[in-house]
Chains A and B, each alone.
Chain A
Amino acid sequence: MPRFLKILARNLLKGPSTEAFPFKEAFTPPRYRGKVVMNPNLCVGCGICTHVCPGGAIMMKESEDQNGYYFMVWHNTCAFCGSCRHYCPVKAISLSQDWHNAHYQSEKYRMVEHHFVPYLHCSSCGAHIRRLPPALAARIYSHSSVDPATIIRLCPDCRQLATAKREGEVHESSPAPQQP
């Protein structure tokens, strides 16, 4: 017992250990796994996040006019496991420090992260294409002879054509750079 009295006295001097929340902001560590956030400027629409999501909390669906796709996370089925963030090849998904999830039942369908990601139009043939972020294009096409800035505006078919054309020109040793 005397052993513990020493600890008891020390704890008494230390004062309360509990946080004053909600009267004071609670400490949230920087790596806290809170609500999922998506950056539509980086998304390539590969859909790996919907495949790995354990609760089926992520939906990707093409819009009726076929001009782009919707991306939606319902926070109420999200398990905050961070699998979508881990497997996202372009780091478009991150987990915020926001853990404020309490809401009225009537607001449950508004607990979403929602984006519309529009398709681009191929600068050569006009077909719909998914966005390819410049950084990813530079990585994938690092060995290509065509400028990545050109490639991201082309559909896969026109990309092949442009590369073939450019390769042909290189073989004919014509040094003129191709600009669109």
Chain B
Amino acid sequence: MSQAPLPNSLKESLAGEIASVLPGEILWNEDAYGNPFGWLVLPVPSRLPEIMKILAGHKARLCTVSAYAEERDDPDKKRGIAYHFVLGRLLFTVTVRLYNPETPEELPVPSITPWFSNADWNEREFREMFDIKITGNPNPRRLFLDERLDAGIMNSLIPFSAMVNSAGSKDLWERLMAEKTGHLSHAGAEQPVSEPSFTPVARAERNEPGPKAREQKD
């Protein structure tokens, strides 16, 4: 583990073994310091075990797993998972696309814990944060999110600062201007702008009133 094989011979043997099970190109590039990166894209998640077998054979270390959505506006569609491995100096990324033009349903991902046991936390994380289906994970419990919250709930949340109308909001700047110039800066706002207030999501759904203390904040 201490002495990595030469990147070139490693590149060749990796590429050769992967080509024997999967047609397609591996993209190679490097950073400004000459550290090499390899990028492989898998058409379907079911091919993952074959590649994992090869990487485990090379004594790769699983660095982490990044789930992502290709489109900013639609976090539930066109998603993929990037598995990052370290082989000495080389950082090798295997990307799996979960969408397919033929099937409307998102494809489930096989667990890679049989080859890389530290994949457990990563798989549990993308399962609860992205609601990606996973098969064969030996420990399918929540990692960070509470059991009572839906998987993928983070996609529907907005930043707290936006929710309470604080940092950088129009309302805030109007208050600051009013304090400084003695009047509100835009026409038609004779009454002072109200203190930012909000009702927590869960309470709003249950139609419960917010705490009284909110009204007399300051």
Residues on A lying within 8 angstroms of B by beta carbon are: 55-57, 59, 61, 64, 70, 72, 74, 77, 105-106, 109-110, 112, 114
The yes or no answer to B173 lying at the interface (CB within 8 A) is yes
B176 on interface, CB distance cutoff 8 Å: yes
Which B153-207 residues have C-beta < 8 A from chain A? 166-168, 172-173, 175-180, 185, 187
Q: How far is the CA of A55 from the CA of B172 in the complex (A)?
A: 13
Q: Inside 8 A of A110's CB, which chain B residues have their CB? A: 179-180
Residues of B within 8 A of A74 (CB): 172, 176
A72 touches B176 (CB 8 A): yes
**Alpha-carbon separation in the docked complex, A137 to B168 (Å):** 32
**Closest A residue, CB atoms, query B169:** A56
Measured between beta carbons, the chain B residues less than 8 angstroms from A59 are 168, 173, 176
Q: 1/0 per residue B139-150: CB within 8 Å of A? A: 000000000000
- Name 23 A/B residue pairs within 8 A (Cβ), A-sorted: A56-B167, A56-B168, A59-B168, A59-B176, A61-B173, A61-B185, A64-B185, A64-B187, A72-B173, A72-B176, A72-B177, A74-B172, A74-B176, A77-B167, A105-B218, A109-B176, A109-B178, A110-B179, A110-B180, A112-B176, A112-B179, A112-B180, A114-B180
With a CB–CB cut-off of 8 A, which chain B residues contact A77?
166-168
With an 8 Å Cβ cutoff, the count of chain B residues facing the other chain is: 14
Nearest chain A CB to B75 CB, angstrom units: 23
Closest to A104 in B: B218
Q: Which residues on the A side are within 8 Å of B185 (C-beta)?
A: 61, 64
CA distance A114 to B178 in the complex (A): 12
Point out residues on B near A: beta carbons under 8 Å: 166-168, 172-173, 175-180, 185, 187, 218
Query: B-side binding surface: helix, strand, loop or mixed?
Result: helix
Shortest CB-to-CB span from A109 to chain B, Å, is 4
Q: What are the residues of chain B within 8 A of A109 when measuring CB–CB?
A: 175-176, 178-179
Question: Which A-B residue pairs are the 5 nearest by beta carbons?
Answer: A56-B168, A109-B179, A77-B167, A114-B180, A59-B173
Taking CB atoms, residues of chain B closer than 8 Å to A57 are 167-168
- Other CB < 8 Å A-B pairs besides A59-B176, A64-B187, A74-B176, 18 of them? A55-B168, A56-B167, A56-B168, A57-B167, A59-B168, A64-B185, A70-B177, A72-B173, A72-B176, A72-B180, A77-B166, A77-B167, A106-B218, A109-B176, A109-B179, A110-B179, A110-B180, A114-B180
